[in-house]
Amino acid sequence: CGLPSGGTLDSGAGMAEWSKKIENKVLKRDPYMLAPDISDHQRVDKFVSSKRSVGYDSTFGTVTIPYFMAGIDNRLVRRSIALRGHSASYDEAMSAGSIARIAGFLALHAPSVVGNLRPKAGDGPPEAIRKNGYFTLETKAENENGEKCTVYVRGQGDPGYQATSAMLAETAMCLADKNLDEGASEEDLDHLKGGVLTPSTALGKELVNRLEDSGLFSFEVKA
């Protein structure tokens, strides 16, 4: 739960304009836009997101609606998958319950919301929303053998600003750690050779540990 900043809204408007250009229409529809060199057998997703309308998701047992960040998040996750050389499908959406929670959060912070409906570039959510915001992610995975795993990621603070600021700071500290590769597997080290990496491929478990130690985030794995 949180609110967008003026810069985020302006970026969204810029992306909308970019997508209208004829020369960008094919790229706009490419689910692997951030992994252009991916092999054919890894191209398992046909759409940027298949969650394009309200519907029931049997995997999660709930009604879902399209998530406005899926167009970005899905491509980033697919780049991580591609960098690891894996073949896996990925998609995300919002649960119907999350809409109710967001509505309740905004109602509790009505004065801050009303005074911040369209922030200017450089302005962001009020302090109360940055401090009291939060997020919960539930990710389910299943391999070709039918083995399943669920991961819950929880964070305190406005997801786009306070929580993201903490993530950026911990990522910087992680990159500066000279002992980053101690205990890492050969597969993990192989992704540290260079290029445009993602947080998970460059920093892996070490970043997860730092985020948990900050006291602002938790990661729960259930097999």
75 — pLDDT class (breaks 50, 70, 90): very high
Supply the angle between the helices 162-176 and 204-213 in degrees, to the nearest 10.
130
The maximal CA–CA distance of the chain, rounded, in angstroms, is: 52
Average pLDDT over residues 56-61: 93
Give me the pLDDT at residue 6, please.
76
Per-chain mean pLDDT for the chain: 86
pLDDT digits (tens, 9 = 90+) for 112-128: 777 666 667 777 778 88
The pLDDT > 90 percentage for the chain reads: 47
- pLDDT above 80: residue 181: no
Other CB atoms closer than 10 Å to residue 46's CB: what's the count?
9
Sheet containing 94-95: which strands, arranged edge to edge? Answer: 55-57, 62-65, 94-95
DSSP string, 156-223: ES-TTTHHHHHHHHHHHHHHH-TTTTTT--HHHHHTTSSSS--HHHHTHHHHHHHHHHTTSEEEEEE-
Reading phi first (left if > 0) and then psi (alpha if -120 to 50, else beta), residue 146 is in left
Count CB atoms within 10 A of the CB of residue 139: 13
Query: Contact 177/206 with Cβ under 8 angstroms?
Result: yes
Under a CB-based contact definition with an 8 Å cutoff, are residues 74 and 81 in contact? no
CB of 155 closer than 8 Å to CB of 135: yes
* pLDDT exceeds 80 at position 193: no
What confidence category does residue 185 fall into, taking pLDDT thresholds of 50, 70 and 90? low
Q: Is the dihedral of CA 62, 217, 6, 33 positive or negative?
A: negative
Give pTM, 2 decimals.
0.85
Residue 99 or 47, more confident? 47
Q: What is the mean pLDDT of residues 39-61?
A: 93
Q: 18 pLDDT exceeds 90?
A: no
